[in-house]
Chain A
Amino acid sequence: MICIIALVVFGILGIFSAKYRTVAKEAFDCVFKRITLRKCTTGLDKRMKSQITGKFMRKHPGLGKVLYKHFEAISWIFTIVLILSLGYSAYSIGNLFIYGNCNGPIPDAFCVFDPFVSGGHVESCSMEGITGEITGVLEVHDHDPAIGFPDAKVTIIEAGCFLCPYTKEAEPVVKQLISHYGDQIHFVYKDFPLSSTHPGAQEAAEASHCAHEQGKYWEYHDLLFVDQNGADFDHLLNLAQQLDLDIEQFSECLESRKYKSKVDGDFTEAFSIGVYGTPTFFINDQIIVGPKTFNEFRQIIDSELFWSV
């Protein structure tokens, strides 16, 4: 059994250094003979046993003795663990290729094959006492603020809150994605104002749509993230003034709460499928909660672009 472990270990080491290749070949020969129901004649198993036992004997004679007596059984255990590990690794690599992360549709753990992404460390603004599983995907409507090519292979929908610091944290990456992919993606922003934890979020969302009707949604969107300390009427009006919007029209829009139903509709739709915090991103049917790195988004988007017909 030790030959199987040796084959894997020295096979990998042999890629990098010629000195391990002879042992890897011996291990392969041994494994091949065992598979074909012949006796391993290389002596590699005995050499490994002696060397490993000898190393333990140097400092822990008792442990060395146990190891020598039960070497075959211990080898079996390690071989089974190795096979399970290899199987799980293959599954993770498959996930990495298909979903862009090791952990399948919902990335909720660290991925050793891509250690530079933030993995499952989920940080988001959440609704108090509500966590759960997102069971669906948001739909894009005609009046939703959007950038990019509407028929692009990849649609990214962000459910965000203008007063949520994590939504703000995700903004630079969002801009980088839009710049990097251009018309390859269709980016859509939907409101999920967390008013219970961020008072004024609802009003900020409504104000953004008031700016939208004057053709300056994305500029107003960006200004809202600059100062997240509240969103009272004067503050929202002040932002509109900075963009040279028609203040009278903007004030009337805001005071009449013209877009309350639109914002409420976005919230209700998102809440109904289980969205619980911001920012939440839907990349086609894949979901990311919380701000992530560009690389993490890139893996999923590239994968979607590759697989989309």
Chain B
Amino acid sequence: MGLNVEKIREDFPVMKREIHGKPIIYFDNACMTMRPVQVIEKINEYYNEYPACGERSSHKLGKRVDEGVDQARESLKKFIGARHTKEVIFTKNTTEGINLVANTIDLNKGDVVLGTDREHNSNLLPWQKLASLAGTKHEIVDPNPDDTFSIENFEKKMSRDVKLVSIIHTSNVDGTTIPIKEVIKIAHDHKALVLVDAAQSIPHHDVNVRKLDADFLAFSGHKMLGPSGTGVLYGKEHLLKKMPPFMVGGGTVEDTTHTNATFDEPPDKFEAGLQNYAGIIGLGEAARYLMRIGKDNIQKHEIALNRRVTDGVGDLVDIIGPNEPEKRSGIFSFNYKKVDSHEISMMLDEMENICTRAGAHCVHSWFNAHNINGSCRASFYFYNTPEECDKFVDTLKKVIDVVK
């Protein structure tokens, strides 16, 4: 393994904590990652040194805020490979980014929005709502018989009516990643735009919006070492310019009269009201931290951990998704017979402070379609260790011995 994990872990204060005399084994990274001290210090720096308004105040503290936000936007631009910082809109999470597009993109009655069968509720409900309000349609691409994404079915689904493909890049249910570059090319060939839900991919894989030619891409800060309540929506500049603002208010306009308003250029026109400056500045630091670590290193490390767990306990449980850990990124989602996943998750937590997630992971539609009540999910990140995986395997075996 290429990463010096022990050294990396020194950056994460929470890793030093113990509960009931035992360390915390944090395997819920698909939900939220821990934060390194560098990010925490950046947030504190704002509150300690320049806790002022950005954009509108010309005093020294205000200028310092603007510098911090600009620096963060620049870092995020590099992080996703955007052409210009105008294409980086700060949101509070992936959900807000997708809702922004759903509420501002030019879709009309009969237009189709296409997604997979395992979209997160945040990339499902906005389109269901739009369908009920505007008469658009939301359609699903059927998977292959082995339940993996089918590029053939996707291509078959592409018709003149499909105006937008809003699609999950890496599934938070099983960790599988779709061939997004191919998807985007097919969509563009059919004159459709593509919105990539990159919440689960961008913290773990190298994602470059220019190489992919993505039209929109949304992700959250809290899944990539950043503060809670931060996120980014990337959009191609020419598309963003055509879109009306989502929320309106302070910070979105150049000028107003009692009857009219002249809106700013992107990204300002999409960032209404006073922003989460501390969070944005912290998110910029998180992006820089991840770029220093390197996405390839992260991906290799996670797959190695996933292989260790799969080899250790894969035969005893029903893995959701492909058996090969290489295809599941850093996610090990499983069930044991008909035992409630919450029971397993809570016992892991009580016994060895192993933090996993149980339930439908906000993808109820997929679980309902498969008549499964949810799953227990262990999700790894680059600061997790092989020893933690061994402890997980050992403890899960004990739990299985009890519930079998």
Asked whether any CB of chain B lies closer than 8 Å to the CB of A228, the reply is no
- Chain B CB within 10 Å, residue with most, of A47, A51, A54: A54
Contact B398 A50 (CB under 8 A): no
Q: What residue in chain B is nearest A66 (Cβ atoms)? A: B402
Q: Which of B175-183, B190-198, B230-238, B343-351 contacts A (4 or more CB under 8 A)?
A: B343-351
Contact A50 B401 (CB under 8 A): no
Asked whether any CB of chain B lies closer than 8 Å to the CB of A298, the reply is no
Interface positions, chain B 347-367, Cβ under 8 Å from A, are 347-352
Which residues on A sit within 8 Å (CB–CB) of B350? 50-51, 53-55, 57-58
Which residues on A sit within 8 Å (CB–CB) of B399? 57
Bound-state CA distance A43–B401 (Å) is: 22
Q: Mark A25-39, 1 if CB is under 8 A from B, else 0.
A: 000000000000000
Bound-state CA distance A61–B394 (Å) is: 13
Chain B contributes a number of interface residues (CB within 8 A of A) equal to: 18
Asked whether any CB of chain B lies closer than 8 Å to the CB of A20, the reply is no
Q: Mark A45-68, 1 if CB is under 8 A from B, else 0.
A: 011011101110110010011001
Instruction: Report B339 CB to chain A, min CB distance, Å.
Output: 10
Bound-state CA distance A203–B152 (Å) is: 118
Q: What band does the interface of chain A fall in when counting residues whose beta carbon is under 8 Å from B?
A: 10 to 19
Which residues on B sit within 8 Å (CB–CB) of A50? 342-347, 350
Contact B347 A61 (CB under 8 A): no
Instruction: Report A71 CB to chain B, min CB distance, Å.
Output: 11
Bound-state CA distance A235–B315 (Å) is: 98
Instruction: Report B244 CB to chain A, min CB distance, Å.
Output: 41
Which residues on A sit within 8 Å (CB–CB) of B20? 58
Instruction: Report B273 CB to chain A, min CB distance, Å.
Output: 30
Bound-state CA distance A54–B401 (Å) is: 13
Contact A51 B346 (CB under 8 A): yes
Which residues on B sit within 8 Å (CB–CB) of A46? 340, 342-343
Asked whether any CB of chain A lies closer than 8 Å to the CB of B403, the reply is yes
Instruction: Report A36 CB to chain B, min CB distance, Å.
Output: 23
Bound-state CA distance A203–B352 (Å) is: 79
Contact B351 A54 (CB under 8 A): yes
Instruction: Report A181 CB to chain B, min CB distance, Å.
Output: 56
10 sampled A-B residue pairs with Cβ under 8 A:
A43-B340, A50-B342, A50-B343, A50-B344, A57-B347, A57-B398, A57-B399, A61-B398, A61-B401, A65-B402
A contacts, CB < 8 Å to B:
43, 46-47, 49-51, 53-55, 57-58, 61, 64-65, 68
B contacts, CB < 8 Å to A:
20, 340, 342-352, 398-399, 401-403
With A47-B342, A54-B347, A61-B402 given, name 17 new contacts (CB 8 A): A43-B342, A46-B342, A49-B343, A50-B342, A50-B343, A50-B345, A53-B347, A53-B350, A53-B402, A54-B350, A55-B350, A57-B347, A57-B351, A57-B399, A57-B402, A61-B398, A68-B402
